[in-house]
Amino acid sequence: MAMLLGLTIFSFFFTIILLIPFIDFLYKIKLRRQHQVTKDMFNQHTPLFDKFHTWKVGTPIGGGILIIFLTSIITMWAYGILSIPVKPWELFVIFFSFISFGLLGLYDDAKKLTVVKAESFFGLRFRHKFIIQWILALVIATVFYTELGYSFLYIHGIGLISIGALFIPFAAFVIVSFVNAVNIADGLDGLAGGLLVICLVAFLAINSQQIDRSLGVFISVLLGSVLAFLYFNIYKARIWLGDVGALSLGAALAVIGLLTGKTLTLAIIGGVFVIEIGSSLLQILSKKYLHKRILPAAPFHLYLQHRGWEEPKIVMRAWLIGMLFGILGVYLAFLT
C-alpha cells in the first residue's frame, strides 16, 4: 500500500508541474469553450446552462489530454521499474478503454477549434457517436468475457451469480453509462474531478484487499493525476476536463469497477454520477413520452442552479454525498 501511495504522490507532483505550461499551451491553440449555443449529450439546446455559465467562455477544455498522456506513461514506467506482473488482456482493457474513449472525446473538443458543415465528419451527430461508444464498449466487454473469464455478478447477501454471455451487454451498458455520467457531471467547476477522486480512493481501498498490483498501480497513478487537475479545476476553474477527459475517465472508472468484480458496488460508489445521468435520462424520456418535463431543468446540478443554489455550494455538497456513497460502497465490499 505504501508503494501505491508513493506513486500517487509522484503522479500528483509530476502532473501539477506540467499543468501550468499546459494550460498556457491550451490558451495559445484556443482549445477552449467558444461563444456558442450549448447542446447537451442528447443534442438538445440548453439555454439554462448558458445562462449560468456564459462567464466561463474562454476557459481551456483539454485537461484530459495531459491526464491520459501522463497516467499512461507513468503507469507503464512503474510496471517496468517495480517489476509488476501484468496480465496482457487486463492491460488491454485498461488502456484501450482509457485511450479510445479519450480519442472519441478529443474529436468533440476538436470541433470547437473550427466551424464545419453539419454533414461533414466533424458534424457527426450524437446518435452516431453514441453508436461508436457502444462499439468500443462491446469490444471491451467481449475481452472481459472471452479472455479474462468474467461472466458473473456479485450481489451482497447472495454471492456470485453467473450470467454467462449476458455479461457482455451488461458490461457494455455499465461502461457507456459511466462515460456519459462523468461527461454530464463535468458541467460545474470541480464537480466531476472531485467525485472521481472520491471514487478512485474508494477503489484503491478495495483493491488493497484484493492485491491486484497492476490495477492498483493504474488507480494510484490516475488518482494523483486527477488530484493535480482538480487543484486547477475548483471554482473558478482555470481548466476543464473537456470531453477528452470526461469520456476517458468515465470509461476508466467503469473498467476499474468491472475488474474488481464489484460492479454493483460501482453504482453505489459512483452514486452521484448515477443521480446525474438518471435525472437527465428521466427528463429526456418524460419529454418524449409524456410531453412534459419532470424537472424544470436537468441534470440535477443544473436543477439546483435553477433553484438558486450557488455553484460552489452544489459542488461541495455533492462531494460530501459522494464521500458517503464511497464509504458505503467500501463497507459493503469489505463485508464480502
pLDDT greater than 90 at residue 174: yes
pLDDT greater than 50 at residue 115: no
CA distance 86 to 2: 19
pLDDT of residue 248: 97
pLDDT of residue 119: 39
pLDDT of residue 295: 82
pLDDT greater than 50 at residue 120: no
Mean pLDDT of all residues in 219-226? 97
Distances from the Cα of 229 to the Cαs of 96, 197, 224, 234, 325, in angstroms? 22, 10, 9, 9, 22
pLDDT of residue 192: 96
pLDDT of residue 121: 44
With bands split at pLDDT 50, 70 and 90, how would you rate the model's confidence at 210? confident
Radius of gyration of the chain, Cα coordinates, nearest whole angstrom: 19
Q: Minimum mean pLDDT among 99-108, 285-294, 318-327: which range?
A: 285-294
pLDDT of residue 116: 46
Whether the CB-CB separation of 305 and 235 falls below 8 Å is answered with no
pLDDT of residue 182: 96
CA distance 137 to 170: 10
Mean pLDDT of all residues in 116-124? 46
Domain residue extents for the chain:
2-335
| 16: its cell numbers | 501539477
27-61 pLDDT tens trace: 888 777 665 444 554 455 556 555 555 656 778 88
> Which amino acid would we find at residue 170?
F
| DSSP structural state of residue 162 | E
pLDDT greater than 90 at residue 183: yes
pLDDT of residue 89: 94
278-297 pLDDT tens trace: 999 998 888 888 888 888 88
CB-based burial label for 226 (10 Å; 0-12, 13-18, 19+)? buried
pLDDT of residue 159: 76
With bands split at pLDDT 50, 70 and 90, how would you rate the model's confidence at 118? very low
| 45: its cell numbers | 439546446
What percentage of residues in the chain have a pLDDT greater than 90?
Answer: 62
Count Cβ atoms below 10 Å from residue 230 Cβ, excluding itself: 19
